Structure 1
Amino acid sequence: MDFDYDLFVIGGGSGGVRAARIAAGEHGARVALAEEYRMGGTCVIRGCVPKKLMVFASSFPAAMEEARAYGWSADVGRFDWTAFRSKLDAELDRLERAYRSGLSGAKVTVYDTRATISGAHEVTLATGETVTAKHILIATGGRPYVPAFPGSEHALTSNDVFLMDALPDSVLIVGGGYIACEFACIMNGLGVKTTQYQRSAHVLKDFDAEARDLVEAGIRASGIDLQTGTEVASITPEGGAFRVVTKDGREAVFGAVIHATGRVPNVEGLGLEAVEIALGPKGQIPVDDWSQTRVPSIFAVGDVTDRIALTPVAIREGHAFADTVFGGTARQADHALVASAVFTQPELASCGMTEAEAAARGPIEVYSAGFRPMRTSFAGQPDKVLFKLVVDAASRKVLGCHIVAPEAGEMIQMVAIAMKMGATKEDFDRTCAVHPTMAEELVTMRKPTRSS
């Protein structure tokens, strides 16, 4: 059969764009890509990039307070959301142009419209046009999830935050995952009176408990009203604001409500029923280690597969797919020891197993150091940081590393390299410290804090 394309990619996020560029630009495949919104996907347009810029913006009040403690006459002044958003929009426009330029340079045909699957080798565009491809790659990512309850339509999601015309005077953040915690810290740093509701006993429940507890304490110390064991029952508009009633009957009024209780695979209306691809228990597209679905010609990468919902992982999956199918080099994306960072204040970064996960598989040693760092201690601030290594007692391999500190994300990247190479605790011990730094604690913790 003569196909219109060798590959048709549905979704213009990081994973889909990487797969398209590599397949076309490096391996010479005839590739098309359809994106119904903006090129760049969640990370570039409504996720990692704009969020991190907001993290930067929200950090200046604390920096100015610290500067005064160091002898500077410093005043942060008033935050101008309109000016910030104008620059943010311009930066996102620039990044989208860069994504489009990369596709154009690789000679990828771009369809700026929605595409759905209508056959094992067939895609139907919202324009009514039907195209065929030898291979189809689904890279539609994820979307915010808001459960149905009275007034849930009044809740904003993380997608909406970057599009607000003005900052509210007060905000309720619903959720306790990394997105909720990050936005709570951002809003608080920007001067918005911030409350956070989390239905379980702790935030960041999937992270190491010791590290999580320190972040949770920092969130409360920053002035955020974090209320655990609290769940929203209803939201009602009230004079330009919103009255929120909890399931235990408490009421409060907020200028805005941001619901950040997680994301789900973006598969709605994708046409999977046409090729009899059944979804997994979390609504994900099931794939094998080669990112292949039950239909041999159809593959999926990124958040839509619900493996590890991180942009660099989607990029690796997309690249491995292109090399395998079009480059003659069989490659699988490696999902082991993937480091991650939570851009709260304080920042949390992790790689590998939590203490509880490691202890469940066998004897371990835990090395941890919690202390007040030099910089903020001099400024008279009570901030604490944590450096923690979880070590296999028998092999001595470092199974997990957890850091709570400013720029923790920058530090964990280097640690992840060592862990990926199979570093032992003794390898860390043999490494000379850089002094005076916080990170030197990673190589100076000689005796275990505890064993199990």
Structure 2
Amino acid sequence: MPDTTSPRPAPRVVVLGGGPGGYEAALVAAQLGADVTVVERTGVGGAAVLTDVVPSKTLIATAEVMTLVDDSVELGVRFPDSPGGDTDAESSVSVDLARVNERVKRLALAQSQDVHRRLERDGARVVRGQGRLDGPERVVVDLADGGTETFTADVLLVAVGAHPRRLPAAMPDGERILTWTQLYDLDTLPERLVVVGSGVTGAEFASAYEALGAEVVLVSSREHVLPGEDADAAAVIEDVFRRRGLTVLNRTRAQRVERRGEGVVVTLDDGRTVEGSHCLMAVGSIPNTEGIGLQEAGVALSASGHVEVDGVSRTSARGVYAAGDCTGVLPLASVAAMQGRIAMWHALGDAVAPLDLGRVAANIFTAPEIATVGVTQADVESGRVPAEMIKLPLAGNPRAKMQGITDGFVKLFCRRGVGTVLGGVVVAPRASELIHAVTLAVEHRLSVDQVAQSFTVYPSLSGSVAEAARRLHVHPAPR
């Protein structure tokens, strides 16, 4: 007899937010045969593409060139037309910030359009508007072109991101007092930029703007910059900052920031004041979870307003998942994307494993960069992880000597008595590329001997990874 049963309808997936967590989830859902709708308020790619990761790293790419120019004198490069003589690289090369920022915004928009086209090519519908939950299975969208549209969802993913934290006594005006999303509207380089906040965002922009030619003051409430990172790595960055002429004010907070004429005045909690032409507020971010019906739909939020999720991105509401900065798991585009993929694999019945933060590689785009993966020195020193550690300064690496690199190191951790690679830290130019070998070792539970016995190019910076592994060689126990 012929089969008269009706085919099962495709599951309806609604993704609220088009950033990395949202669009990667949508691509997976479309691949698995779902009927996918992506609701995005500002543009596909979200803040990561339009105002955060892509723009900041594009700006930093220009800063990298300026750093190379500044350091090239030591390699024998001369600038005969420079005002300060033929060795004065800094005064002979300058940056046109208007052109830099025009390129930044152009590339960000192009990346957003690329992702938009990919979503539509793979069968997802993209809806421009502000979405909110009406229970765990319905999304109401205030459309950008007017009117509203309601979507019913079998699976709902919340990936609404976060926005810069604003302090009442230092409210950004978009001209002199700025968040990191507003920097790309500047036409001229700040003469003196005061950066409030010495976490990843503050350190990256302080490093970049100093390289671009601005005078920079970094206000840090902690004893050192980058307080949440590897202490040795943070010490290198702070030392480089000071040597390059960047002023670091430790153990003090900005009490208020005021516009004064064509500049700003930052008042510190110890009574001192710092004057500048501009001030960048880099004091953290706030999840975009308020007023979109999450708690009313049964989605639990933390005290900070982040969506609480488990290892497969489930929230407390049945059928509702969440990914990205709104979850507070790790503010990385790569983590957001993986959370989104995991959510769809789980929701649509594909093979899936919970998110493992121990395998996440992260990078800070200062000069030099800091790249990390796996366990940390704090894990080892606290006794939580029994491990051996080795740190090799890059100054001893032949390729580093040839390139004039004097700052940085490679640090590896391995399981005590066994030699399994557990993690590492690389501080170097393009550390984001060098960490991949360590990430592979952590991911596949390689031993230090396996890493050490792999060929590396001579001379190369990656040779220091193999050398560090050799020095952690575990001798076999005597028979």
Equivalent residue number for residue 19 of structure 2 = 13
Alignment of 1:56 with 2:61, yes or no, is: yes
The offset of 1:197, in angstroms, is 0.4
Contact 1:3-1:133 at 8 Å conserved across structures: no
Output the CA distance in 2 between the equivalents of 1:253 and 1:166: 18
Alignment of 1:88 with 2:73, yes or no, is: no
Output the CA distance in 1 between the equivalents of 2:127 and 2:287: 22
Alignment of 1:29-428 (within 5 A): 29-74=34-79, 77-126=93-142, 127-148=147-168, 150-154=169-173, 155-326=177-348, 328-360=350-382, 361-372=384-395, 377=401, 383-428=406-451
Output the CA distance in 2 between the equivalents of 1:144 and 1:122: 28
Identity of aligned residues (%): 26
Output the CA distance in 2 between the equivalents of 1:22 and 1:270: 25
* 1:114 aligned counterpart, secondary structure: strand
The offset of 1:328, in angstroms, is 3.7
Q: What is the count of residue pairs matched by the alignment?
A: 445
More divergent stretch after superposition (161-170 vs 96-105): 161-170
* 1:159 aligned counterpart, secondary structure: coil
Larger RCO: 1 or 2 (CA < 8 Å, sep 6+): 1
Output the CA distance in 1 between the equivalents of 2:311 and 2:402: 51
* 2:359 aligned counterpart, secondary structure: coil
The offset of 1:400, in angstroms, is 2.0
The offset of 1:444, in angstroms, is 1.9
Contact 2:448-2:472 at 8 Å conserved across structures: no
Measured at CA, do residues 328 and 401 of structure 1 come closer, stay the same or move farther in structure 2, by a change above 3 Å?
Answer: closer
Measured at CA, do residues 36 and 221 of structure 1 come closer, stay the same or move farther in structure 2, by a change above 3 Å?
Answer: same
The offset of 1:185, in angstroms, is 0.5
Contact 1:321-1:332 at 8 Å conserved across structures: no
Output the CA distance in 2 between the equivalents of 1:447 and 1:55: 34
Q: Deviations over 1:389-415 (max 9, x none)?
A: 122213322222111111111000222
Output the CA distance in 1 between the equivalents of 2:405 and 2:12: 59
Output the CA distance in 1 between the equivalents of 2:339 and 2:385: 31
Output the CA distance in 1 between the equivalents of 2:405 and 2:239: 11
Gaps of 5+ in 2: 1-7, 80-88, 474-479
Question: TM (normalized to structure 2)?
Answer: 0.87
The offset of 1:259, in angstroms, is 1.0
Output the CA distance in 2 between the equivalents of 1:216 and 1:66: 18
Contact 1:364-1:393 at 8 Å conserved across structures: yes
Output the CA distance in 2 between the equivalents of 1:178 and 1:96: 24
The offset of 1:430, in angstroms, is 2.5
Contact 1:8-1:133 at 8 Å conserved across structures: yes
Measured at CA, do residues 107 and 32 of structure 1 come closer, stay the same or move farther in structure 2, by a change above 3 Å?
Answer: same
Measured at CA, do residues 3 and 276 of structure 1 come closer, stay the same or move farther in structure 2, by a change above 3 Å?
Answer: farther
The offset of 1:386, in angstroms, is 0.7
Equivalent residue number for residue 430 of structure 1 = 453
Question: TM (normalized to structure 1)?
Answer: 0.92
Contact 1:181-1:344 at 8 Å conserved across structures: yes
Contact 2:97-2:186 at 8 Å conserved across structures: no
Q: Deviations over 1:254-311 (max 9, x none)?
A: 1111111222322122211321323113321011222111111211111111112211
Contact 1:173-1:180 at 8 Å conserved across structures: yes
The offset of 1:47, in angstroms, is 1.7
Output the CA distance in 2 between the equivalents of 1:4 and 1:328: 15
Q: Name the aligned partner's letter for residue 30 of structure 1.
A: D
The offset of 1:327, in angstroms, is 5.0
- Write out the 4+ residue segments of structure 1 that deviate beyond 6 Å after TM superposition: 2-5
Output the CA distance in 2 between the equivalents of 1:331 and 1:389: 26
Measured at CA, do residues 376 and 388 of structure 1 come closer, stay the same or move farther in structure 2, by a change above 3 Å?
Answer: closer
Q: Deviations over 1:307-343 (max 9, x none)?
A: 1221111111212222222254344333322111111
* 1:143 aligned counterpart, secondary structure: strand
Output the CA distance in 2 between the equivalents of 1:362 and 1:335: 15
Return the match for 2:32 from 27, 32, 55.
Answer: 27
Gaps of 5+ in 1: none
* 1:112 aligned counterpart, secondary structure: strand
